[in-house]
Each structure stands twice: as C-alpha cells, then as structure tokens.
Amino acid sequence: MPISRLAECIRETKKDLATTYLKAPLVGHVGDGNFHLTLLVDMDDADEVARAQALSQRLVERALAMDGTCTGEHGVGQGKMKYLLAEHGEPALAAMRAIKRTLDPLDIMNPGKIFSL
C-alpha cells in the first residue's frame, strides 16, 4: 500500500469491518505500508465464514484500487492467486509463467502455486 493511502485504507477497512460484526484485530508494520487483519472466525458458522470471505475480498479490492497489492510481505499464497491478473495484467503473468517454465520445465517446484502453467 502506498504510504500516502495507508491511513485512508485502514479507515475504510475499519468501517467495513464494523458492518460485518466480525472480530479481527488489525496489526501492521505500517512504515512499509503493510497491515494485516487477523480474522477470528467460527469455521462451523457458515454465515460467519461467508462474511469473513467477503470482507477479505473487499480488502484486496480496496488495496488494489489504492495502488496497493493483494499480498503482503509473505507473498501470494494460494488464497491470493485469483487476484494476480487484476493486479499485474496478463502480459506480466505470461512473463512470470515463461520464467517458471524455463527454470522448472517439469513443474516440480511448488506445482500449482502462484499460477498454473
């Protein structure tokens, strides 16, 4: 997240969080424009799980709209793969796939992670 948009993003996220009735402490190392929600969700409550998933999606969309990223310093992970196209565009993903194919032609290093070949 650009530092110039961080306070705005946190304010909007806290407003959004208040409407979900979910518990989610917000922590971060904001000096690099990074914050995290720790969603506390009862996985046996389908409605709560759905609200948490929707909140998570809105958080990513908000970050992208503010010229941030769908990922933090921890990388993409399988949960954020679906946002890579929106963030980087197809030409960049094609370049990433080409590099992956060159370095790992048998797709044995973390197959199915980041993107499918």
**pLDDT tens digits, residue range 60-116?**
999 999 988 887 666 666 778 888 888 889 999 999 999 999 999 998 988 877 766
Residue found under tokens 């310093």:
73
Supply the pTM of this predicted model. Answer: 0.72
How high is the pLDDT of residue 79? Answer: 74
Distance CA 15, CA 8 (A): 11
Residue type, 70: C
Range among 14-18, 28-32, 105-109 rated most confident? 14-18
Q: How many other C-beta atoms can be found within 10 angstroms of the C-beta atom of residue 37? A: 20
**pLDDT tens digits, residue range 35-46?**
888 999 999 999
Written as six digits, the tokens of 92 are: 């960049």
Distance CA 72, CA 87 (A): 13
The terminus-to-terminus CA distance of the chain in angstroms comes to: 28
Nearest to 60 by CA among 39, 82, 38: 82
Residue 34: which pLDDT band, with cuts at 50, 70 and 90? confident
